[in-house]
Amino acid sequence: MTKIAIIEDDPTINQMYRMKFEAAGFDVQLASDGERGVALVESFRPDLILLDMQMPVMTGHEALKKIRAEEWGKNIPVIVLTNMGEEESPKELRDLGIESYIVKAELTPSQVVDRVKDTLSLA
């Protein structure tokens, strides 16, 4: 079963995406901040990470830097899922190897699932 880690501080959004991905046959684990997200990724070893940028404790950008610094985290595909426009995001995000950038308000949850399937070549 394909494993997805969703690192997002909004519990409503977390649950909405969990339901959509589980209905599509994914194994989903959630983290509510960047620090918990790094720990989750280390233990869960997901096939893909959906990562919010603006979170408490540790931002998504900081979490991604920590994940990419570890051998186990260097090659996990990451899709940034945020309400912050791409032009507002830190320029070094692309250098940290993200697959794509999704503004939450622009895609439905089903479209996000489709984007993940495309990224993982599961479509």
What residue numbers bound the domain in which 90 lies? Answer: 3-119
State pLDDT tens for residues 21-74: 999 999 999 999 999 999 999 999 999 999 998 888 898 989 999 999 999 999
Indicate which CATH number applies to the domain containing 16: 3.40.50.2300
Query: Which pTM does this prediction carry?
Result: 0.91
Q: What order of strands is seen across the sheet that includes strand 27-31?
A: 27-31, 3-7, 48-51, 78-82, 100-103
Number of domains the chain is built from: 1
User: Cα separation of 80 and 49, whole Å?
Assistant: 8
What would the DSSP string read from start to end of 68-91? HHSGGGSS--EEEEESS-GGGS-T
Helix (H/G/I), strand (E/B), else coil: 25:
coil
